[in-house]
Chain A
Amino acid sequence: MNRWQIALLKYARSYKKGISLILMLMISGILFDLLMPWPLKLILDYVITGEELPGYASWLYNFPGIESALSLIVILAFSTVVLFLLSKTVTIFKVYIKEGVGNRLMYDLGAQLFYRIQRLSLRFHGKQQSGDLVQRITKDSTCVRDLVIGMLLPLLSSVLMLVGMFTVMWRLDRELTLLALIIVPCMGFLIKYFTSRITERSYEEYSVEGKLLAQAEQILSGLPVVQAYGREGFEDKRYRLISMRAVKAKLRTVVSQLQFSLGVGTLIAIGTAITMGFGGYRVLQGDLTVGSLLVFLSYLSSLYVPVESLAKLTTGYASAAAGARRIYEILSADEYVSEHPDAQPLMSKTKSNGMLVRAENVTFGYENNNPVLQNVSFELLPGEKAALVGRTGAGKSTLISLLTRFYDPWDGRITFDGVDIREVSLQSLRSNISIVLQDPFLLPITVAENISYGRPGAGEHEIVEAAQAAYAHEFIEKLPQGYHTVIGERGSTLSGGERQRLTIARAFLKDAPVLILDEPTSALDAGTEAKILDAMERLMRNRTTFIITHRMSMLQRVDKIFELENGKLVERERFDYAR
């Protein structure tokens, strides 16, 4: 067994109860299905011919009011309804539980992945595309459902069904059963031959479809160039070409699927013909009853479903296995920012007034031998505000990533209130820092949940207070459901300024002593900026603050100005910038 198979099966073990319940329901469902053709047999073989019912059905005479053949027919006919109801009830139960267990399996695995991915270091994320990670959480996590619910259980049920059918047939007529069994190896051959072809072709189909979509996306997102160079006609042709290829690939898949079902159908037809011919001969000889012959025929006609589900297994297995392997990659990734074994929580000594933040000869880069920051040192006293300026790519965001320990420096150290940040727990370090970015980061959850993001469990009045401090209360009140409006849903689109005020409210609520603002106003126009500057200024009060900014309006409000150039940090005099 592969490592990922073991990992997944271990994982499915926690659902033992649900799965064994499904198995029990499955077995009883199969029993009911096997009983289905029997009332008809009894009617034809015994009731109509006027014979006594055989020993296994003689209990039917105990029903009150059994006098005539007709009343026996009524009872037997009624029993088909009962059998149907029983079998369906079992099926519905089974499907219901299957859906629950299957999806819970899937979402649990998704949650696990989600949790891990969130905690992996930015070094890991730097190498991964977020779209690919989302794919793993949302799509690949279905593999466990597909494997357990979609494959393991159907495999069991198909095998049990086949075994059950042939056992009953064996007891009715051995020779006829052996004859009917001839088609089984042929079916095995069909399954083996076609599944790999169908898999290949449907894979081809998906990849062409993917290409088509990718092409459309690419062209439509580069439309100005397409139009400017008059390439619409050319692109039409290209789209048509791939589109036609997709149609052809789809047809090829359908053709092999049809060949397969035609093959299975023909085999069943042959089995039916053999049974009819030989069985009819046995009936003429008096060795078999008409009713038993019908039982045979009805079993044969229901052979298609288990065979088909067996055939689907190989196809499904390949894609589920691919998903499982991708998941295992995440589950076995270990690029976490390491915590000191006996990390202490970071306690602020001067919480009400910010923290003392120092960097001592910090050197760091993303690639070996290519440092982005070199020997950077600075000191910010509790409550001081520093602006960080420099060109795009000078390392401003990198420096900030070191403060939050998204990365650890190659050399040198950073201290908060004199404590090296590598010696405190990550959680406590980050709970002492608030961040506001240029692009306000909001989740599709309610406004209140977004504000309390950094402090879950905050009371309603605290949330409102924070919103008021950020001058966000007013517009929140005007939203369709106020604080309980889900962001991004219809009718609740917020402007850039409003979104930024929500993140400021979030920082207010978190009330951390260290504040990091990364170009908080540069995506806003001047009018909007003026409105949120007041909120920002209140937020900075009594906190140690870093602001990455190019705006004069912000530069005028800080105590120190640091400039990064070629990886070096220089402190500038404030008046350099003031006009």
Chain B
Amino acid sequence: MSRYRFIIPYILRQRRFLLLIVILTLFGAALATLQPWPLKILIDFALGDDSLPLFFDPTPFNLVMAASVLSLVLYTLNSAVNSVLVWAWTAAGNKMVYHLSVDLFGRLQRLSLLFFQKRHLGDILNRLSGDSYCVYKIAEAVVVAPFRSIVVLAMIGYVSWSLNQELTLISFAIAPFLGLSAWYFGGRLKRQSRLDREAHSALMSFVHQTVTAIPMVQAFTAEETNKQKFDVLARNAVTIKQKNTLIKNIFLSTGGLMTTIGGAVILVVGGNFILNGTLTVGSLLVFIAYLKTMQGAFQNLLTTYGSMKSAEASIDRILEVVNSREKITEVSSPQPFPHNGTVKQPYIRFNKVSFEYRKGVPVLQNIDLEIDRGETIAIAGETGAGKSTLIHLIPRFIDPVEGSITLDGFDLRELSLADLRAHIALVQQEPFLFPVTVAENIGMGNPKAAPADIREAAVLAGADDFIRKLPDGYQTVIAERGVTLSGGQKQRISIARALVKDAPVLLLDEPASALDVNTEEKLMDAIEILMKGRTTFLIAHRFSTIHGADRIVVLKQGNIEEIGTHEELVAREGAYYRSLSLQQRNAKPDEPYNLIRRPSGARLIYE
């Protein structure tokens, strides 16, 4: 029940629509009840011998006309009311979904990166686009459909009771049988459709993984084997699908069968009444028409439970996001931290910081590190040593499991996130650009940036030339068709962005390692301009990028293995030196020990 507490406000928010739906439903049910009556008028009064209980006695011809006009009016009104009802319900339901998914997206954006590390993006997107429909389903299953069914049943029940009580009892007698068949088939259908989905997705993921690794497939000449495997999976999927439709149709047919049997019984009993003269032909036709409507209403009521169950699973998956503990909490009254520009070159301190993504698998252990004002720290180490994790702690994408980090003496957790992040600029290995204009991308971190500032930053980052050659210059929208930027160009834009933000702390996560050597060399000039006067963390693999740093931290399996200036580490002849000299001799065998002037682009090798 507690899960509904989260959903209900979204439903109630559309109360105006819900009110409209209630009114229309009542109206529609009344129309549905009246629908067979023109036929009764036609057959009993116009064509039969009965006379209408009226003060005047119309001619049969007039009655025929009246019946047909009445039928036209009722039928048209009924479809009009139904159309408005469907429209109102679509609008209400989609607005519920809209609000839920917008809220969900907002929450997702503010979660810690930890949440994303543990889940596939596809799964998360499913929650956003698929599971958010649960509110629609729940409102439909719990509120709208049952209400309509009950109103229709009550009205039809009342009218038919006043026409003939025996026949009414017979018509209602089909309800328990319908219930029984729904109960019998419900579980089976659900299981079957789950099997269906699984079979299909097994095939899909097989195809996906094969097609993304074509070279391997060809290298192993596995085309035939794969085709056979595909056939097996496909045949399995077809068999399950066939069984699925079989069960579904048998289920639907049993409902129809019950109604038909009910209709046959009514025909016999009612025919007998007609022969006795206690029932008119028109009333019998009314009953037969009601029976169909009733079957629909009962079946809707019975499916309520099933659809509630499936929607509940979706709610749970949404609540997992909403109630996720993997979020960065802000203290209620954060310490004021001086705003942009006033803090020049803050110092940062790691106090016994440990971090883990999974319990018992530490990624960082007891890191103690102090970075002076304006210092550039290079972080080196193997893949998986914890380099990116270390710098992700600074803007609080994640929080340490143990220990604390301070910025100018303030614990990061005591600052507001907005304040903290306003002081940090980030450049990643894979430059991430927003699908807005180039100018907006560059001006992103500083709302006050004027076009001149943006241009200046672009010039400094070496981006001005190619930006001006774009179709709309600085107003070109990124990621639209026809505008493709190279990796180096994207990276220059993200460097310009960091320049405009002018934050005192700079995080560079392998800014150049996705680029080829020549591009890297050119880019490093821009990066050096960017680093000037800021406290900088720099992750890099290439020696040419690292050796200019004030100090170098070598991480190994979550621990600091070595720390010091380039010269100190060389003198120490540790891991750094070994990987360096290895690379050195590799490239220039005749100058084995000249470590100062090195070919750029050489990669550090760790043993």
Contact = CB atoms under 8 A, between A and B. Distances in A.
Given A280-B64, A290-B47, A391 B601 contact: yes
Contacts of A270: 72
Interface stretch (B162-170, B199-207, B451-459, B467-475): B199-207
A119 B219 CA distance: 11
Given A48-B275, A84-B256, A115-B227, A220 B397 contact: no
A379 B271 CA distance: 99
Interface in B58-106: 60-61, 63-65, 67-69, 71-72, 75-76, 78-80, 83, 86-87, 90-91, 94-95, 97-98, 101-102, 105-106
A236 interface: yes
A258 interface: yes
Contacts of B94: 247, 250-251
Taking chain B's interface residues, is the majority helix, strand, or loop, or is none over half, making it mixed? helix
A27 interface: no
Nearest to A112: B227
Interface stretch (A354-362, A441-449, A465-473, A532-540): A441-449
Contact of B271 (A47, A107, A134, A297): A47
Interface stretch (B343-351, B531-539, B582-590): B582-590
Interface string A413-434: 0000000000000110011010
A254 B264 contact: no
Taking chain A's interface residues, is the majority helix, strand, or loop, or is none over half, making it mixed? helix
B439 interface: no
Interface string B481-523: 0000000000000100100010000010000000011000000
Interface stretch (A1-9, A189-197, A225-233, A310-318): A225-233
A228 B426 contact: yes
A307 to B, nearest CB: 14
B267 A523 contact: no
The residue among B95, B113, B212, B602 with the most chain A CB atoms within 10 A of its own CB is B212
Contacts of B275: 48, 69-70
A251 B88 CA distance: 9
A92 B249 contact: yes
A406 B38 CA distance: 76
B267 A80 contact: yes
A276 to B, nearest CB: 4
Interface in B234-253: 234-235, 237-238, 241-242, 244-246, 249-250, 253
Given A254-B90, A577-B585, A213 B68 contact: no
A259 B128 CA distance: 31
Contact of B246 (A92, A217, A276, A510): A92
Contact of B221 (A85, A426, A576): A426
The size class of the interface chain B forms with chain A is 35 or more
Nearest to A132: B211
Contact of B125 (A216, A239, A266, A389): A216
A526 B234 contact: no
Contacts, number: 371
A288 to B, nearest CB: 10
B606 to A, nearest CB: 8
A377 interface: no
Interface stretch (B25-33, B183-191, B416-424): B416-424
B369 interface: no
The size class of the interface chain A forms with chain B is 35 or more
A117 interface: yes
Contacts of A240: 102
B230 interface: yes
Contact of A262 (B80, B209, B392): B80
B220 A225 contact: no
Interface stretch (B172-180, B304-312, B330-338, B428-436): B428-436
A281 to B, nearest CB: 6
A236 B582 contact: no
Given A48-B281, A114-B227, A550-B605, A232 B106 contact: yes
Contacts of A522: 383
A339 to B, nearest CB: 13
Given A117-B211, A134-B211, A430-B221, A280 B47 contact: yes
Given A78-B264, A216-B129, A577-B585, A391 B87 contact: no
Interface in A467-503: 488
A391 to B, nearest CB: 6
B546 interface: no
Contacts of A449: 229
A116 to B, nearest CB: 9
Contacts of A573: 589
A133 interface: yes
Contacts of A133: 211
B603 interface: yes
B390 interface: no
Nearest to A273: B72
A294 interface: yes
B200 to A, nearest CB: 9
A226 B501 CA distance: 13
The residue among B46, B216, B383, B418 with the most chain A CB atoms within 10 A of its own CB is B216
13 contacts: A117-B211, A118-B226, A133-B211, A216-B125, A217-B121, A258-B83, A276-B67, A280-B46, A280-B68, A281-B61, A445-B229, A454-B221, A525-B557
Given A232-B109, A280-B47, 19 more contacts: A40-B288, A47-B271, A69-B275, A70-B268, A80-B267, A88-B256, A95-B246, A107-B230, A114-B210, A119-B218, A120-B214, A122-B215, A227-B421, A251-B91, A254-B86, A261-B79, A426-B221, A430-B219, A431-B221
